[in-house]
Every structure is written in C-alpha cells, then in structure tokens.
Structure 1
Amino acid sequence: MEDSTNTQNPDPSSLNTLLVFNSKTQKIEAVKTVDEKGNLMTVPNTQKNQNQFLKIDKNGDPLSNFFSNFLSQLKNPTLFNFFTCPFKESEKIGKQIQHHLKHPSTEGQEFLNTYKIVNPNTNIMSTNPLSEKEYQYSPDQIDWEMMSKFGLTQEKLEKANALEPMLRGFKTNGLLPISLNLGTALIRIDARLSLSTNDAGDVRINLHGIRKEPNFNFKFLGHEFTPEDRQNLIENGNMGRVVDLINPKTDEIIPSLISRDRLTNELVAYKVEHIRIPDEIKGIRLDESQKQTLIEGKALYLEGMISTKGEPFSAHVQFNADKKYVEFLFDHNQSQQQSQSHSQTEAPRTFRGKELNDDQYDRFKAGQTIYLDGLLDKKNQPYQGYITLNQENGKIDFSFQNPDKIQQQTKPTEEHKTQTAVNSEGKTNEATKHVKEPLQKGQQSPKDKSQQVKQNKPQPRAGKRI
C-alpha cells in the first residue's frame, strides 16, 4: 500500500494517524500498513514506534477517499474498528480510547464519536453522522491571533483534546478557561468553543459561556415555550418535538429541534432537514417508523443493544440538537431528585483542574462515584482515580480504586451470609440449627460426620407440666 505521507514534509500538526481496535486482541494499536496478502500490519501505539505509523496528511488527502482505498486492500475489515487522531497525540488519545471501550459510558461514547471513522464496506455505523465526513475546518482557517487573546494556543487545544471536535464542526467536549484582557478590564470565564462561518465565508470563533439557567421567559427564534417544553429541556436536555422557528435575517420558517447544552444551559436549535439517523444503533437495525420517531425529536426505547464489551443492554435514545447526533439517555430525573435533598451544598464542577461534563456532573451531584482520567499531579504527570461527593459534609472523597467495588468486596458473599447470620446475628440456619459449635468460614451445612449426626439426632419434645 502506498504511504499517504506528503513528500514535501508537511507540518506535523497537519498529520493524522490511524488507530485500530482489534476485536480479537481487544487492544488499540497503530496501523503501519496492509501487506500484499491483505493482512493489517500494526505496531504498539507508543511514541518510540511513531516512525513506523501510517501518516495521513489531512490537508492533502481527503480522508474518506483514502480510507475507502485502504479498506479495499484489507482482507477482513469487519474485524476492526478504526479511529483517526492527530499524529502527535496518538499515544495519549489511544489510551483514552482503550479506556472508554473497556468502560462504556455516555461521556465515553461522545469521546469515541469524535475520533471514530465509519467503515464504508460494512454496516458498522456510528451514532454520529458527522463522523462519516471530512473535517469541516482546517487549523489554518482559525484566527490564532484572536485565539491567543483568549489565552489559548493550538498546542493547548490539542493537549486538551479540544481542537479535533472543533474542526469536525462540534463544540469542545468540555469547558475551557478563557482569559480576555481588554486593557482596563480582565474577563475570566469558563466556556465551550466552536467554529462557524460568517456571511463573508470567514471562520469565526464562538464562545459558549455558562448560564445559570435557560431563559424561558422570552421567545426563542419565535417559539414560545410551553410548561412541558421547559420540563423536558430541564430534565433530559431535549425538548422532544419539532417546532417552527423563524430565521431573524430572512424570516424563513425552519422546522427544527431544540436541546439544552447541559454544560452551559445554552438553548440550541438544529434544522430537521439536516438530521441524519443511522441505520443501526449498537446492533439494532432501525425500521422507518423508528427513524421517523427520532427525526420528530421523540425518545425511542431500544432493547437488546450490544455494548462494546459484548454485553446486551437496553436504553432510550433521542436526537440531541446540541450534539447533532442520536444520544443514549440516562435517568437524569433520579439524579436531580437525589441532589435536591442536598441543594444546600453546591457540588463543584471541577476537580483538580478537570472539568466534569454534564452526565458526570449529574451523577456526581447524586452521590455516585465518578471515574476521572487526565488529572495532572504537581509535576504535570497524568494520573486517574475515582471521586465521590460526601453528602454529609459536601467534601470530595478521592480514591485510586473504585470505592464501590471495594465496598462490595467487603460485604459477605453468598457463601458467607449463613455464617455471618448465625454467628453474629443469632439467627437460625435450618441446615445447622442443632449444631452448637459456631459455623466456620463460609460454612452453610454440617462440616463433618460428627456434626451431621448431631444435626440428624431427634430432639426431645417438651413435656407437659403437671
């Protein structure tokens, strides 16, 4: 296979590489090439092997054309899932992909959708329709001088895994600290960033700052929110129906869906005509009726989906106008109800500089344990761990091991429940109720012939008193 590296030594920042998840080895590796027999040649995804990585000039070769050609030479493409990422960040991003494949979650799925590319020779499809397309923007279209005024550089955005979503037409996955120096005033905010094109065709930078709550008191592009609209947007982030919005410049009526950005509380609209529903979601083939339900903005319950770990699960799915793709819905109602009882303590959105996304924050406020990676120690070295909000004092408990699993391990297993109940709680076990000695570790029945005899020995009946 021909190497797609530009012979004119392109800027390393413009290079991507191809990562692959092998369903047999269950590992993320870097693609090297395809041999003459159609076998995929890979190397461990480490920095020392980068000179062997397949390099793709994202500014020179359309990714879709390259990938189609690549797959045409591969003997068994269905065995692999492919991801593309910046060449310089391959080791870091590869580890994160490996983690999210092993530990499925809402935020993990969003992360995977950012880098996953669809295999056009099969029916394997991502729930993110934009992952089928080439980048909408390139780094050289960004006004980096303006970006520097926000305290951001290309290197900082790449390190935060924030540049890639922007180039694909999405908002950054998390909030970024913005510092704007106006000379006599210094503005500091946390915001998500995105790119768009103005009327002149220039790429502009959009800041999406945090709002305390959505403003339902005024019409949104001509739409007046009903109580049910408000409730849906607050509870799960999606309004759940198509409405006619008015373009303020042209007065054009545009059927659209509305969702709430769960990180910033910004209301976002998306044209129905742009909605693309996948043919398949996690192994479930959608019929036309199900697709229409999603296009209309309604939630759809799917049973028997297969997770990345190969385990069946069921969940509601719904199109999200902010994310621009079909998302999995989790029970936000329960989280909010639980957190209301502790509203006197405002849960922080950041931990050691790491911003929690909307799903993490909801579960964190409800007292659930959250896994965080990408934390940095005082020597700027990455580490990961688990955090839990202590509902009694409002402080954050940190652990390198999952405290839920540790707690589960400390509970008596099935084989120890009988022993604990008889010896510690004074309860009666039918199988050993005539045995006087304490039950030993894990014991649920007579331990030997002697105890068996005692257990089977007829017990004298109580006589009547004269």
Structure 2
Amino acid sequence: MAETLNPKDKVLLMREEGEGSNLKVVQGISNKGKIKAIDPLKAKQTDFLIIDKHADPIENFFKNFVNQAKNPSHTGFFAISVELLDKVIKMSDAELENYRVNPKDFLKEGKEESTKESQNQTQTQTTTSTEEKSAELEPKTEAPDETRREFTQFDTTRIPESEYQKFGITPEDLEKELNAMSYGFKSPHLIDINLNIDGERYPMQARLSLEEQPDGNLKIISYPRLNQVDLDKPFQGVILPDDVKENLLATGNGGRVVELEPKPGEKVPSLVSIDQLTNRLEAVPADKLNVSQNLKGVELTGEQQQSIKEGKKVLVEKMTTRYTMGTDNPRYIDAYVQFNAAKGRYDFTYDGLDRNRYNRRQTQIQNNNIRIPKVLLGVPLTQQQQDKLRNNERVIVMGMVKNGRKFDSSVKVDLKEGKFEFKKINPETLELLRKGPKTQSKKKVEKKTQENPTDNQQDKKKLQTNNTTKSAGVRM
C-alpha cells in the first residue's frame, strides 16, 4: 500500500455483479479468497491498492483471487485513476466498462483465458425490408451454453479495415464501445451504421459484438434495432405464453420462468427480458442465476431469494442507497426488485411505494434537532438501534439508568415533542428479555413492538394491576 497517492495513480475498485452495483475500494484478499473492501467515501489513502504490474501486492491479490475465489465471474474489477475517484460513483454502467480489468489478463498479459457467460440469442424476424436484409449478417440461433466457455480477451487490432467499411464506421466510432466488446459483450450503446449489402447502403442503428474467425481475424456482428418487439414469433423454439407477453410489454421482464426449447427436445427453463436498446428478446437459464443473500444491506429471506430466481418482482424494504452505503448517515429506500435477463442485473422499480418514507422521518428528526446518541442513559446503542431511532422506529433498550435507578424500556423518537419517548414493556415480554432470549426471539419482540406502538387493551389491564414499576409513559 502506498503512503501517498499520485493523481495519475490507478487504484483498484470492485463490485459484485447484479448486486445493486455498489463500488468498493479493494484493500486486499484473504488466503481463502475473501476480498477485503471498503466504501469509497470512508477510504483513506493507505486503504487503496495501486495497480502496478511490477508491484507484489496487486499481483498477489489477483493470483489469490483467481486461485481461491469461488465465483470469480460474479466480481467486476475496475482500474480508476485517483483524479477520477470523485466522479466514478456517478458513472453509468456503460462508462464504467471502459475501466474494467480482467484478473487473468492482467497476470498473463492477455494470454491467459478467462470466463464469461455466452451471449447467444434467438434472432427474430424484422418488420421492415431493411431489417430483413441486415439479418443476413446476424448470427444463427444457438442454444444457451449450460457451462461457461473459456476465451481470451480479443485484440481489437485484429479487426480488418474491411469490417469497418462494411458497416460504414471507423475505429473512432467504436472508441467507447471496444473495451466491452473485447470481452465478448455487445456494445453498451446503439451505433449508427450504414450496412453495405450487395453494394447498397442501409442506414440503421445497432448494437455490435465481435466474433473470432478461423484465420484469427475478428468479425463484427450486428444486432439492428427493431421498430418494436415481436412477441408473436417463436423465441428459442416456443411461442411465449400470453401472461409472459403481457409482462414483457409492461415491465420488460417475463415475470416468471419459461421453458424454452433452443434445440429440438432440449428444454431449458429460462428468464426472458427485452433488450430495451434493440427491442430484441434475451434469455438467461434459470439455473445460472445466483441470488445473493444480502442486497444493499438487507438480508433476503429464503422466500425472497427463491422468488427472484423465479423471475418475480419482490418487495425489498429499507435498502441502503448507493451513495450512503457505509456512511454515518445512511439513507434508506423501498423498491421492487426483479432480475433483468437482458441487462444481467436487477431492475429496481417504485410503483405505488412512498419514496420519501424514510427521508421524511429523517428530515423531521433533523428539523427538531434530535440527536441520536451512541449511548442512551448509560447504555451503548448498537448501530442497528441508532439507525432504527433515526428512522423513527421503536427499539428495546435494557439497563438504562435515571436518578440512580435502572429500568428497561421501549424507546422511540417523539417528533412532536422533539424528545425520546419511553414506554414500559409488558411484563411477559420483559421477563423473556431478562432471561436472555435468543436473538431471533428478541428481533420478533422488537418487530411486534414496532407494529404495535401502543399497548393493546389486554396489556393495559395487566399494567394497571401491576404497579410495581412507575416508569410507564416517561418522557425525557
């Protein structure tokens, strides 16, 4: 690690693909392949791993990653100069692709093979005569590979000049696209091309990719943009069900697993989405989708993970926003999460949700000058308790001291009074807590307390007959 950083130094950033796209600063890696990373906003100069092919730290990091990491293809690495660090968080995915680093290529100077998902797709018939002619240059329909195939990053200097001429473009036109294309992906953007077919030029927009030929040259493959998606034609051997068509038109995603038949007799349960750039259908085999247990700071339940694998929209509450992850003042948001097969990552939608739900609570607390302390009446608050209070949720705090007397209470911010509100815990719950219930039970108790901030009638009667404690309804 360097003590000081030069603005031109390149440092290593990473993100888990399909995990909400949160960039982190790489610090190192354990012997078991677990990456040590930190939020960019919290990183100090000594936290950064400088990219230098002649330095042991970066070489050792990539060696350990390649040898030990369980899912290397799920982790993206990016080489960013120090002077761009303040801008990288706001970069789009397409801009970020220009800085991608492949670990194996870094170690072997492009000679080692690395892996990637195959990106075959079924070609749909075009709706205009121009698109029909351009289809002659598109790849044939192939089945999705059931395993990853090895490949070497393409050397884009092996694209013949004749390929550029065929599409009426120059290398400069692909300057921002070639990095992604060199890894076998389609261009991140639509490209204006002029296809030369039988001596005639056909102007259109298309995404482009590269295909290696037997002679070692690279061929440009085009995916012309369709005027509209055609859902009445067979896709990978099947006519899509009506409910899937409706979902595709409404959201761009099929909404459930569809059994495709890319080859006769070969059934492949898959998720289907529309490439919004080209209006073409894309599919990902369902068994290739890995759903992380943690999404933007939220631990997903088994049911939520399974629903995402099935292509459904899943409501995930209180996710931490991208720019406040790991900060002292995290911001939260609720969203519907759904996997997009065309993008290879999640879509986040907010239909019918109150996007200011958490912001409003936090603003009220800030406007009332209510400071959330790290220690409340002698009891250190956990980060989770502080976050809940900051978001106007109720927490249980045991062993607080006031006027020399210990007491336990349910605590919440009173927005009207600008103070903390303390409520007595019902005797049965208090007894369970004092006996040291399991963490899971305690979480259930807190959840129940949050859902029922006022005691029910039965609890009130119990409290009225049990006057041994006089701290009920205390306000401070």
TM-score, structure 1 as length reference: 0.46
TM-score, structure 2 as length reference: 0.45
